[in-house]
Amino acid sequence: MNRQQRRAQKHSPLSSGEAFAMAVQLHKAGRLAEAVKAYGRVEPGNAQALNYMGAALFDLGKDKDAVQAYEKAIAVNPEYADAHYNLGLALKRLGRIDHAIESYRISIRLNPDLHKAYSNLANILRDLGQLEDAVGLCRQAISLKPDYAEAYANLGNALLDLGQVKEALDAYTKATSLNSDLVAAHWGEAFTRLLLGDFTTGWRKHESRWLQPGTKPHGFPQPQWDGSSLTGKTILLHTEQGLGDSLQFVRYAPLVKARGAKAVILFCTKSMVRLFQSVAGVDLVTADPKKLPAIDVQIPLLSLPLAFGTQGTTIPAEVPYIRADGVDAWKDRLGAGFKVGIAWQGNPSAAAEKGRSFAVKQFEPLLAIPGLRLISLQKNFGQEQLADLPQVETLGKDFDTGPDAFADTAAVMMNLDLIISPDTAIAHLAGALGRPVWVVLQANHDWRWVLGRDDSPWYPTMRLFRQQVQGDWSVPFAKIQSELIKLA
């Protein structure tokens, strides 16, 4: 074959079947953009090609385009169960929840053996609080595919939300036995074991957080410290996740220093620098990566319990381990009376925030207690709610917008008689300062508050007030009111 013949063959149009086969090959090879173009060269009425094109667009993160491709596939073949299922995936990611539910239900009606649809529909219903239905759907998925590890992990999530903790642990361990690479199941198991007080396995499993989708690696190339001697070495401690996590686990810095470290460096967000400069055992606190010295080893703060082999009886719980400055400047401003600092809203965009916060109006009955003053510690999120309860005192614009937000909050806390907060950074700050703090917990609370206690092994000055039913704050606030009457 001469050059002219080869050129003619290269530019000759492909048949629809050839175009589809080429597109599938490109798709399997991960060449998604090319696959999308190749699917576009298949005859317009090919529902399978349109469905596959949607899948490639979905993997590219082009969810709206994926929806259009799936809808075209369904227009060609309304009985195409897989296209309805895939449409549900894309709609869910776009936040069109009601439409996603409808698509999943249609796919199940068209193909009752489509196990994936049951499991994914269960996830949506769990998010909507329909926990019993979510459990039932996961069990249906498992009955159709007994080795379906993802369904076991989703079942664990729904059972955990229902408070069936041991049953959830069984589901997670079954999931990891079926698929040892399933990160979601390892993470669920870590959460559940820590909640049950099984720190030995829980801390080890907790390292799986770095493998979760959306989790950013810390970016420090030095090896992670394993708890061995630090004699002559410089170690970098660095914050991760939320501000509350940083406040809780910075307590380990003096223990790190005691392992013989030449220097302990703490890398944190800018808003925490001034506050963390008061932590014993830390030689340098910085938010500027350019100011970091030469480092021998590094460790994220939440990996320190694993490095120290922390058990329930060995939690370093001496407080205060953080100290406030500028305390006297707030003394006269705050004045007399029984002063209760309150917070009610965490960061609404945080994944862990779901269900933790409550309306400021929950505090309204407390205002009837003689001599009691409610003082807002809320910054940023939730301040607009103060219009609903104007009797709550505020501390002025310099408190709301100061550059060292948490340092100012700490100074105010030292002049208060009590702090009441949901599970937010405010609660951790008060506990770290050794201030009296009452934490109002949702029923589906975080692992760190363990089960069945009204105190905290992490913070000696803390009391816990727990929901009995998820979403119902009446019981913990009625108890708070009763206890406050005794105090005030």
Of residues 9 and 278, the one with the higher pLDDT is 278
CA angle 274, 318, 410 (to 5 degrees): 30
Q: What's the rounded Cα separation, in Å, for the pair 116 and 73?
A: 19
Tokens of 86: 């895939």
The pLDDT of residue 347: 83
pLDDT at 80 over 50: yes
Radius of gyration for the chain, computed over Cα atoms and rounded to the nearest angstrom = 27
Q: What's the rounded Cα separation, in Å, for the pair 407 and 413?
A: 10
pLDDT digit string, tens, across residues 437-458: 999 999 999 999 999 999 999 9
Q: What's the rounded Cα separation, in Å, for the pair 42 and 104?
A: 27
pLDDT digit string, tens, across residues 235-271: 999 998 789 999 999 999 999 999 999 999 999 999 8
The pLDDT of residue 351: 66
The pLDDT of residue 13: 56
pTM above 0.85, yes or no: yes
The pLDDT of residue 44: 84
Q: What's the rounded Cα separation, in Å, for the pair 419 and 57?
A: 50
pLDDT at 421 over 80: yes
Greatest distance between any 2 Cα atoms in the chain: 100
pLDDT at 230 over 60: yes
Q: Are strands 462-466 and 297-300 parallel, antiparallel or unpaired?
A: unpaired
Q: What's the rounded Cα separation, in Å, for the pair 320 and 234?
A: 25
With a pLDDT cut of 70, the percent of the chain lying above it is 95
Q: What's the rounded Cα separation, in Å, for the pair 185 and 179?
A: 9
The pLDDT of residue 369: 94
pLDDT band at 343 (very low <50, low <70, confident <90, very high): very high
The residue-averaged pLDDT of 8-14 equals 46
User: b vs e for 467-481, b when ≥16 Cβ sit within 10 Å of the residue's Cβ?
Assistant: beeeeebeebbebbe
Q: 246, 470, 191: which is closest to 356 by C-alpha? A: 470
Q: What residue spans define the domains of the chain?
A: 12-211, 234-307, 328-487
Q: What's the rounded Cα separation, in Å, for the pair 327 and 220?
A: 36
The pLDDT of residue 1: 38
pLDDT at 11 over 60: no
The pLDDT of residue 214: 67
CATH of domain 328-487: 3.40.50.2000
SS (H, E, C) 384-436: HHHHHCCCCECCCHHHHHCCCHHHHHHHHHCCCCEEEEECCHHHHHHHHCCCC
Tokens of 399: 């408190």
Q: 174, 131, 133, 134: which is closest to 152 by C-alpha? A: 174
Which amino acid is it at 157? Answer: N
pLDDT band at 201 (very low <50, low <70, confident <90, very high): very high
- Tell me if 12-211 shares its fold with 328-487: no
pLDDT at 5 over 80: no
Residue 172 near residue 189 (C-beta atoms within 8 A)? yes
The pLDDT of residue 380: 83
Domain 12-211 has CATH 1.25.40.10: yes
The pLDDT of residue 355: 87
The pLDDT of residue 4: 44
Kind plus residue range of the DSSP H or E element containing 103: helix 97-110
Q: What's the rounded Cα separation, in Å, for the pair 134 and 18?
A: 43
The pLDDT of residue 396: 86
Q: 428, 452, 463: which is closest to 195 by C-alpha? A: 452
Residue 220 near residue 281 (C-beta atoms within 8 A)? no
The residue-averaged pLDDT of 181-204 equals 96
The pLDDT of residue 481: 97
With a pLDDT cut of 90, the percent of the chain lying above it is 84
